Amino acid sequence: MYMVIWRIGAFTREFRTFTRKFRTLTREFRAFTREFHAFTRGFRTLTRKFRAFTREFRALTREFRAFTRGFRTLTREFRAFTRKFRAFTREFRAFTREFRKFNPIIMKLCKALL
């Protein structure tokens, strides 16, 4: 009889130890899942922010390409304008050179008219 009671007591002690360990393990598992969910939430947020950053960067790159394309066009047009302006200036200098030759005659005519 004593043996049976002793065995029941030993079983009860072992069962208590087991349940204590099981509760501890469950608590640790819950803490782990909480931390893991927090980590995944943080990781998702980080991923979302990184995607947004990448999207902004691509848009900025597109704008920069468009700007450089426009700038190249502007430069090309400015060079063409400069070439035309130089040609006009050359022509104008030639004209003024020619005009200076006639200047004394024109001055005499102006004096005669006045």
Q: What is the pLDDT of residue 4?
A: 62
Give a three-class secondary structure readout of the chain.
Answer: CHHHHHHHHHHHHHHHHHHHHHHHHHHHHHHHHHHHHHHHHHHHHHHHHHHHHHHHHHHHHHHHHHHHHHHHHHHHHHHHHHHHHHHHHHHHHHHHHHHHHHHHHHHHHHHHHC
Confirm whether 27 is domain-assigned: yes
Do the domain assignments include residue 42?
A: yes
pLDDT at position 108 is: 79
Domain total in the chain = 1
Whole-model pTM?
Answer: 0.52
- How many beta carbons lie within 10 A of that of residue 86, not counting itself? 10
**Domain of 37, in residue numbers:** 1-82
Q: Is residue 97 part of a domain?
A: no
pLDDT at res. 102: 75
Identify the segments of the chain with pLDDT beneath 70.
Answer: 1-6
CA 7/CA 52 separation, integer angstroms: 66
Is 69 domain-assigned? yes
In a domain, 110, yes or no: no
